[in-house]
């Protein structure tokens, strides 16, 4: 397959990431199907995308016509077969659980045409852990977007030892056509580049908070006002979701067995209380 042959993209999982990735693809002129096992998640994605696009129209960032045409290219379904039976490229953005991703990739391998590339948006799991679930490991890679995908520019493409050069090249070329800035990593490492650096910052921020050196607000202010970060670490965890942060740390701990990789008790307590950040109205900050 050549990049010019790529017409249809399927995004699997319509949560925080999948919904916006699907919109990014539709805005770039691709036919897109967004699939989720939960009908409610698709309905929520549709409503959120409508409101996000309306805001851009009001601000003059996009025209009504561009948005209308993008929505006309975007369809929603709970049926995986319908979503991928004629697709050229799949971007998986489902829950961050290795066994569930493996099950899904085995199904995708059965249902998608033989030429189709299967990419995972996982934040931590390298595709060599998923590719053996398929009979097309050379067409499996990581394509990692950042939250919010409609805004954030970087995409990390990771070419595992099983990934063909053609797959890596098409995924890089597609990222550029989506108006993103991609980097190609040719060595796998869990968490890739940006989040590994961010992880170190998060650890230090949580250490400072737990030891009562500073409040979450003060630590966020230090990062935004002294280091010029656009958002502080605690505001960022609230945006990403404390549950996502928790799952990422548990996956890392499962792999390393290192207690230091476990989520901090501060995060565990908040997750247990259902304080998951913006999506529940309460995280390190309260939201209306
Ligand atoms: N949240 C972030 O900041 C962020 C950033 C980059 C990458 N990621 C990665 O993106 C992926 C999704 O994260 P998210 O934050 O959008 O999660 P989310 O919880 O918001 O959404 C996940 C969606 O996947 C659906 N789902 C679960 N199993 C499914 C299946 N078998 N088939 C179809 N749909 C299924 C759920 O119903 C849900 O709607 C994860 O791998 C995560 O590591 C997340």
Give the C-alpha separation, 215 to 97, whole Å. Answer: 32
Indicate if the pLDDT at residue 256 is higher than 90.
Answer: no
Looking at the domain assignment, is residue 11 inside a domain? yes
Q: Ligand 1: residues whose CB is within 6 Å?
A: 12-18, 35-38, 41, 93-96, 100, 104, 121-123, 145-147, 240-241, 244
Same domain, 246 and 150: no
Q: How far apart are CA 144 and CA 17, in angstroms?
A: 10
- How would residue 254 be classed by pLDDT, with cut points 50, 70 and 90? confident
Q: What HEC string does 216-262 produce?
A: HHHHHHHHHHHCCCCCCHHHHHHHHCHHHHHHHHHHHHHHHCCHHHC
The per-residue pLDDT for 279 is 92
Are 253 and 147 within one domain?
A: no
Is residue 36 within 8 Å of 6, Cβ to Cβ? Answer: no
| Mean pLDDT on 66-93 | 98
* 178 lies in the same domain as 204: no
- The mean per-residue pLDDT over the stretch 236-258 comes to 90
Ligand 1, atom 21, lies closest to the CA of: 15
Residue 20 has pLDDT above 90, yes or no: yes
pLDDT-based confidence at residue 258 (cuts at 50, 70, 90): very high
pLDDT at position 251, please? 80
Q: What is the pLDDT of residues 198-233, one digit of tens each?
A: 989 999 999 999 999 999 999 999 999 999 999 999
Active-site residue among 19, 121, 122, 123? 123
- The secondary structure of 175-225 as a DSSP string is HHHTT-EEEEESS--TTTTHHHHHHHHHHHHHHHHHTTSS-HHHHHHIIII
CA of 17 to the centre of ligand 1 (A): 6
Find tokens 């033989």 and name the residue: 114
Q: Quote the pLDDT of residue 4.
A: 97
Helix, strand, coil distribution of the chain in percent, nearest 5: 50, 15, 35
Strands across the sheet with 31-35, in order?
74-77, 31-35, 8-12, 89-92, 117-120, 140-144, 154-158, 181-185
Of 163, 185, 207, the last residue of a domain is: 185
Q: Are residues 265 and 176 in the same domain?
A: no
Tally of domains within the chain: 2
Domain boundary among 185, 207, 224: 185
CATH number of the domain encompassing residue 119? 3.40.50.720
- Whether 76 and 178 share a structural domain: yes
Residue 24 lies in a domain: yes
| Mean residue pLDDT across the chain | 96
144 belongs to the catalytic site: yes
**178 vs 86: CA distance, rounded Å:** 20
The reported pTM is: 0.90
Do 7 and 97 share a domain, yes or no? yes
Q: Is residue 5 exposed (0-12), middle (13-18) or buried (19+ Cβ within 10 Å)?
A: exposed
* Euclidean distance between CA atoms 132 and 243, whole angstroms: 28
> Tell me, what's the pLDDT at 188?
98
Please give the Cα distance from 10 to 33 (Å, whole number).
5
Please identify, among 185, 219, 240, the residue that sits at the C-terminal boundary of a domain. Answer: 185
Report the distance separating Cα 250 and Cα 228, nearest Å: 30
Whole-angstrom Cα distance, residue 255 to residue 250?
9
**Residue range 61-76: average pLDDT?**
98
Q: Which residue has the higher pLDDT, 55 or 244?
A: 55
Mean pLDDT of 56-81: 98
Is residue 92 predicted with pLDDT exceeding 90? yes
* Residue 214: how many other CB atoms lie within 10 Å: 14
85 and 114 together in one domain: yes
- On whether the CB atoms of residues 17 and 147 are closer than 8 A, the answer is yes
- Which structural domain range is residue 217 located in? 194-277
pLDDT digit string, tens, across residues 115-165: 999 999 999 899 999 999 999 999 999 999 999 999 999 999 999 999 999
């Amino acid at each position: 397959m050549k990049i010019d042959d790529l017409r249809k993209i399927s995004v699997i999982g319509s949560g925080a990431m999948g919904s916006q990735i699907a919109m990014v693809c539709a805005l770039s002129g691709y036919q897109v199907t967004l699939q989720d096992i939960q009908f409610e998640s698709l309905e929520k994605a549709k409503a959120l995308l409508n409101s996000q696009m309306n805001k851009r129209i009001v601000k003059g960032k996009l025209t009504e016509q561009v948005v209308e045409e993008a929505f006309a290219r975007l369809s929603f379904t709970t049926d995986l077969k319908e979503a991928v039976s004629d697709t050229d490229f799949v971007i998986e953005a489902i829950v961050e659980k290795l066994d569930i991703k493996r099950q899904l990739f085995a199904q995708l391998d059965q249902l998608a045409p033989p030429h189709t590339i299967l990419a995972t948006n996982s934040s931590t799991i390298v595709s060599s852990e998923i590719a053996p679930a398929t009979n097309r490991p050379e067409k499996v890679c990581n394509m990692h977007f950042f939250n919010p995908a409609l805004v954030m520019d970087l995409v990390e493409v990771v070419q595992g030892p099983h990934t063909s050069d053609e797959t890596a090249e098409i995924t890089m070329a597609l990222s550029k056509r989506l108006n993103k800035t991609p980097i190609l990593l040719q060595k796998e490492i869990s968490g890739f580049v940006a989040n590994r650096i961010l992880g170190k910052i998060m650890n230090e921020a949580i250490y400072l908070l737990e030891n009562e050196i500073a409040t979450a607000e003060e630590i966020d202010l230090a990062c935004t006002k002294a280091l010029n970060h656009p958002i502080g670490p605690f505001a960022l965890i609230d945006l990403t979701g404390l549950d996502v942060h928790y799952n990422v740390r548990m996956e890392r701990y499962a792999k390393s067995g290192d207690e230091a990789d476990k989520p901090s008790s501060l995060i565990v307590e908040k997750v247990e209380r259902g304080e998951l950040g913006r999506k529940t109205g309460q995280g390190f900050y309260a939201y209306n």
